Structure 1
């Protein structure tokens, strides 16, 4: 049992971790304590101690959640904390959690979810029994704790793919939980009826109801359980009751914050949307009553922000109904559609005073909510989605009805623009809603409603607002957003003409105006050519004349922030900087010295308190692009002298969120430098610390650290020899190889070690290296490992520099050191089958050259393995002849296919690795004298065959005819 003194000490550290002045020291001390036995339980006791300040308890709950995320198990489900501590946590956490206030329950609930993901059901079989046991007929607070835990566990199922293991887990839960769940549902309903005039009793009971509806969804998210199907009338009868339930005591005075009644109804709407989409056969008869109630709810609920989520979910349910042509018929008359527009769409699409307040008071939040594709629950988006779905079903009728309202609102505006500007806003929104065909994606609108003239509407009603100096700011935003939405419908020339107008918006005092201008420029520059899909619509020649001004204006707007948090607030501005730099490419060289200090200053300032992961990512992406395009043209070391001190400071300050980015950019600096440039002296002291095992414990560090170590090996291999670092770097290889998550990084690092460190310094280690790799292949191989081992064998075999003492005989001998003659088995079982999984042009080149040299430049292999040799021969011909090989050698600009739109919307500060797409990863070319094109590889293979034939090799006569024909073709080309 933890002493009161120990609890107080940890609580004080947790409180100090919230103060920027003492945070680093407190966090370091806490992490030192992490390895001690009993630390996890001590944290739980801090959270449980009611006499401590709430802020300390909340900090404890947050730290415990992050501690569990990092330290519960490794990738093989081995506990990273003492086993006794893990058992104690599972024994105590449920009982503790159900007694806590809601804010603490939510944090611990996420911890329970992480633990359950690892341990339930096989290592925590008593969990559900424990939850059921703790359900009470009288203690509502305890029940809410149980439901919160249950939801934390069961919600994990929602996004998962169907599998036998998943359904086995769900069945185990259902068998134990269904009946108690239904009893609790009925019991809570009865208590609400008994306490309908007792507000103090109703509030926790409705919190119960909200959790009941969430758990109901969880239990039904993968398939409808037989229990729920058998009891659907009873259960859905209760659900319907609370969708229409009203009680004046539950109406909150706060117009912004939703109360338990609104939250419960929002959860119901999600549940009935699930049933309408997935379980139509059992829900069909009940559907009309739910549609009618939802309609009444939508037409009687006020415009206050506290109802926004409820209205969004209710509209989501009706939108789901309309996805079925059969069900959508209920909306298919002109009279009904007019009612839909007047009573549901317009009230929820029109601008409200609260929207205008948000525009003025919290413009970045307004932008995030308003942006197409955002996951925010806004009325406007939900109403737009509903209208678009109706339009998909009844295009001409909906278009006609809606356009009559559009014309009405435009006439209102034109009659008195100053007073009726909101009518113009509604008209533009309405038009955009029905003009789009399909969904709006990150790439914009792919098709439009052919009944409408989008470009004509833009020219007549929208474009004038772009250049008008005397117009309401929201209308200017509407005009910019119209370009953003319909950019694919405008020609390149039309879009180019918008650049000066949009860039002038950076001088606007209105935050949303210049932010939307940045968003729109970024999206236009990200467009692909409509004909050549692999090429960008705009290139460096298009953007060069205005790029510098754009960047300087963007940096000016960003640097208005007076604190690290305000500086990093607007990720849209930095994303636009990133896109401008990437599009401008080498044309930035002339002014790179002007923009580099801005990026360095922003990184230095935001490192004091990283607060916006997206902003951080785009900043480092921008800096990486500047290094990539400008540094090679600058005097040697000029970028190093500016950036390396900043990067070392970040590493010294242990800015966890920035460290993986710094490692990537240090590698980038080394990679882009001329090969004859000296190794930066400031980095020499960093080499040994980079090999410390503790640094490789953080998952997010591994890919970047591997790349940095490889870059150091390529630029300064001597330091590893002279400083006695060979064994430490091989220790890193062994650590990576032992991890299923990182084994392929270990083999990749080994390639650099074997290539750059003279082989005489490695001889005493090669047998152990080979044994480690074979053991891993035999006991715990992953596909990535097998592919990387194949690449290693081919790479070592393909090296043509005689000074390296590598080549096919070395790679065969390396493997055979582990066990005499084992290479042939490895070659046919792993190496040749993995050849087709080597995809890039560099990998394909290595595979063809390496395989050809094993077959035709290592005569001992043919003599001892004639059957395996023929398997390799077929693999070589297939590799050269495959369509994939032809495709990878087609010339494309690698910057045209940057993965900037894949996943960067989900960038978060976490243990995961956020790769910078603009970092150029240089690979070793083991045979630089052989060109990377299909013809050259055929000629090389032919020359190898000729050489071996002159040495007495006879081509096999029993090979399939297509193999023989291919070999003769290669020889003829040599």
Structure 2
């Protein structure tokens, strides 16, 4: 069908039909064909501009137009819209300004902003001038409110789009035109604000709001230093008056639109502060803005405290007030170094900071702010107490998950932390005095709430006042006695606060002896017999326990007397808690306890924890709570590690779960596979020797190919599982699955991350120690392309030399044990052998590890011993250098008669086999460490081959195989140093 206005209208009519049928599908297909045709977008624009066309068709036309602009306007795109068509389209983008349908206007605005993004200023330099001129004409000459409204919607989208541009001329061009646009917008704003406040006309109010919305965007983005523009300064001064009047008359003008006005003023101030805090402070109206919000926080404090509504208007304003004050405080504290965009000179920064500290943030104001926050904003609200009483689990879980930017008490806590940090000299004594003399008796709920707020300041001040207080004294004199009181039910409020204080301070200042007293206190809080210890207190205690156990200075031997009691209480609490989040805290804390107290938790306790896992796994399936399953998998991993030689106890439960979580076809795969792989790895590592023929473990190997392909973000974990299998069942690497695995690894190797590379090297080192003479394994290595990939890696000049030496180390294993096979593999892979061996010798000195050097030398000697008699040229060429370097090495290293020495007992290729856990004498080596040790003892020639004897055998072998003349010719290649050493040797 030929593209024309009539045909396009017909097709759009069919495509916009309400019933889905073949005609509609054909129409959509036709539109898809036309979208790359010249003139298509111009005709779409023509149709949506015609007001007589049905709205549904115009709507489809403008959507197709907008999407086409996004896809084809950029000139570098395939099927880009032609220059001529662009000119025609741009000439008509403002024809729809009389449109009364707001949704069409919004879609048109999106289209115009996309065009502006690409064409302003190069192809459309007059864009902003034309808009300013049109706005002036609509308002001050024709009084066309509809066109004014629509133009402001378009302008807002243009400013928003261009403001996001960071490369190119568009943003700078907008800034050059900003004074013109701002001048007309301010005039419009003032005119319409005066109009709607006098008449309460909602249409004028909406247009005025659009003016404000545009100004809110263009002032911060269009002026790097707003305080230097008189129009902007005067406008911002007027906004403060308007903000104050709207706040005062809130009930009179009560509407969502009015609240949007107030929020828009707040966003304007915050954005200016973010972009250029110095300029904000130097505004003549800045102090008035700050005072307005401080006054608001004071005057509305009681109302906000007693409010139970979500998204309450006054609470939102208070949040903005705290954010603004917080940002200004940070500016003072950081001496103006807030953002990279800061371009003010030092004089202006100093002037701004002096203005703030002298005129606003005086010591009296700082203390007043602190008092205000304590008295009203840190206190638990009546709505909090109601939530605590009726739905304690829901309440505490919301407390632990709420972002500080959206609720007033968390926001006030965050603000207070900055206040005490930035003005610690002014507030430290004040806060300590509050704690010393403000903790009155628990005579009423109000007194308890005030005490809780005061204690909250101590909790939040840990980093600022740690050097001025003795936490251990306060713990024993104040917090523990307070926590043990049971005279009022409301004491649970203080028990919770004491838990929060301990959780915050334990990593800052807490002695070993005090921690023992804390364990006793937390045990008391978790007792089921005490009615004051409700769910909120117990969850707070669990969170605190986890923080203490996770702390760097945690001593598991001090904790051991309490360990079993805590575990029993936690297991009992699982039955008491109803919500998923509450159970998660318990499971996560159990996992941390098992991990940090390893191996002190007794066998029976570990089995008790293990037995509950199937029940909660099944119940979470019924309740559709996969997040519980993640936590259970992590707990099961900790159990496996802690059971160590008894880890087979977990197999009946853990192996089916691994199979379920790590099978690509499983519905659990996307959510649980990562934790499933971690559990799988721990099962392999800690598997005892008695379980080496476990069929379920062997069958899981079939799941690795999909994991290796799909889980590249956790590639080190997948490779570690492979490495564990290489020690657990090396025979698995001679089958078809290993061929597939090696193909994938060959593709990954050139760009493999360092963490994955380290595991890859140790995996290949183990495999080649075990399988250098295994024909099936060698064939898989060759056929898969992995051998060629390793050769290409070491010959690639762009790769790290250190990493290349590790690949040469792996190749050395093969070369040492099977020199004939190695040369044949080089030949099959069409390797430039001269370059390969030259690079090998060149990189040899980058080996800092004596053990690795010996592996290299033994391989090179083996290749020499085989290659020289076979007339392999490269073997003859390298022989003298290899022998010399062997003598150099022997002078550095003093081997015993068996060929071993102390230097060989560290820096293994399997780097993480001696991780930090084995520094703990209580922890026994796991099964994999034992298997690796046995492999080295049995198969690694480093420990049982005397290198000097090996060199001697190599020379004697050459002498036996070569004629006298050939042997003498070979010896003549050596230098004097080497010949002297050889004579002494033979």
Given the two structures, how large is their TM-score scaled by the length of structure 1?
0.64
The residue that corresponds to 1:525 in the other structure is 549
How far 1:599 moved relative to its partner?
3.2
CA distance in 2 between counterparts of 1:425 and 1:179 reads 54
1:818 matches 2:817: no
CA distance in 1 between counterparts of 2:753 and 2:911 reads 30
CA distance in 2 between counterparts of 1:214 and 1:624 reads 52
The residue that corresponds to 1:475 in the other structure is 494
Residues 91-490 of structure 1 mapped to structure 2, 5 A cutoff: 138=147, 169-175=166-172, 177-178=174-175, 190-191=188-189, 193=193, 195=196, 197-199=200-202, 202=205, 234-235=231-232, 238=235, 242=239, 245-246=243-244, 247=246, 260-261=260-261, 263-268=263-268, 270-275=270-275, 283=282, 288-302=287-301, 303=304, 305-307=315-317, 309-323=319-333, 324=335, 326=354, 327-330=356-359, 335-343=364-372, 346-360=375-389, 367=396, 376=405, 379-380=408-409, 383=412, 391=420, 395=424, 397-403=426-432, 405-406=434-435, 409-411=438-440, 413=441, 416-433=443-460, 436-438=462-464, 448-450=466-468, 452-471=469-488, 472=490, 473-487=492-506, 488-490=508-510
How far 1:594 moved relative to its partner?
1.3
How far 1:583 moved relative to its partner?
1.7
Q: CA RMSD in A?
A: 6.4
Please give the secondary structure, in 1, of the residue aligned with 2:573: helix
The residue that corresponds to 2:808 in the other structure is 793
The residue that corresponds to 1:730 in the other structure is 742
Contact 1:195/1:201, CA 8 A, preserved across alignment = yes
Higher RCO structure (Cα 8 Å, ≥6 apart): 1
CA deviation map 1:158-200 (0-9, x unaligned): xxxxxxxxxx944445235546777776676635635553457
The residue that corresponds to 2:564 in the other structure is 548
Please give the secondary structure, in 1, of the residue aligned with 2:660: helix
How far 1:707 moved relative to its partner?
3.5
The residue that corresponds to 2:683 in the other structure is 669
- Against the structure 1 CA distance between its residues 854 and 591, is the aligned structure 2 distance closer, same or farther, given a 3 Å change threshold? same
Please give the secondary structure, in 2, of the residue aligned with 1:791: helix
How far 1:423 moved relative to its partner?
1.9
CA distance in 2 between counterparts of 1:850 and 1:582 reads 37
How far 1:582 moved relative to its partner?
0.8
Residues 510-521 of structure 1 mapped to structure 2, 5 A cutoff: 510-521=534-545
Contact 1:798/1:926, CA 8 A, preserved across alignment = no
CA distance in 1 between counterparts of 2:716 and 2:539 reads 34
Aligned pair count? 801
Please give the secondary structure, in 1, of the residue aligned with 2:834: coil
The residue that corresponds to 1:602 in the other structure is 616
Contact 2:542/2:589, CA 8 A, preserved across alignment = yes
CA deviation map 1:96-142 (0-9, x unaligned): xxx9999xx9xxx9xxxxx9xxxx999xx999999999999758689
The residue that corresponds to 2:520 in the other structure is 500
Larger radius of gyration: 2
Contact 1:644/1:682, CA 8 A, preserved across alignment = yes
CA distance in 1 between counterparts of 2:912 and 2:703 reads 42
The residue that corresponds to 1:641 in the other structure is 652
The residue that corresponds to 1:575 in the other structure is 588
Please give the secondary structure, in 2, of the residue aligned with 1:763: helix
Unpaired segments ≥5 residues, structure 2: 1-10, 22-31, 37-54, 57-66, 72-76, 81-85, 87-92, 95-99, 136-146, 308-314, 336-352, 868-873, 894-901, 959-969
The residue that corresponds to 1:57 in the other structure is none
Contact 1:667/1:711, CA 8 A, preserved across alignment = yes
CA distance in 2 between counterparts of 1:827 and 1:502 reads 62
CA deviation map 1:571-605 (0-9, x unaligned): 43333222111122123333222111333443444
- Against the structure 1 CA distance between its residues 776 and 504, is the aligned structure 2 distance closer, same or farther, given a 3 Å change threshold? same
The residue that corresponds to 2:606 in the other structure is 592
CA distance in 2 between counterparts of 1:877 and 1:752 reads 29
Contact 2:183/2:231, CA 8 A, preserved across alignment = no
Contact 1:273/1:316, CA 8 A, preserved across alignment = no
The residue that corresponds to 2:340 in the other structure is none
1:632 matches 2:645: yes
Contact 1:660/1:700, CA 8 A, preserved across alignment = no
CA distance in 2 between counterparts of 1:896 and 1:382 reads 44
- Against the structure 1 CA distance between its residues 568 and 475, is the aligned structure 2 distance closer, same or farther, given a 3 Å change threshold? closer
CA distance in 2 between counterparts of 1:924 and 1:127 reads 73
CA distance in 2 between counterparts of 1:341 and 1:466 reads 26
The residue that corresponds to 1:708 in the other structure is 721
CA distance in 2 between counterparts of 1:207 and 1:681 reads 70
Please give the secondary structure, in 1, of the residue aligned with 2:486: coil
Given the two structures, how large is their TM-score scaled by the length of structure 2?
0.64
- Against the structure 1 CA distance between its residues 736 and 83, is the aligned structure 2 distance closer, same or farther, given a 3 Å change threshold? farther
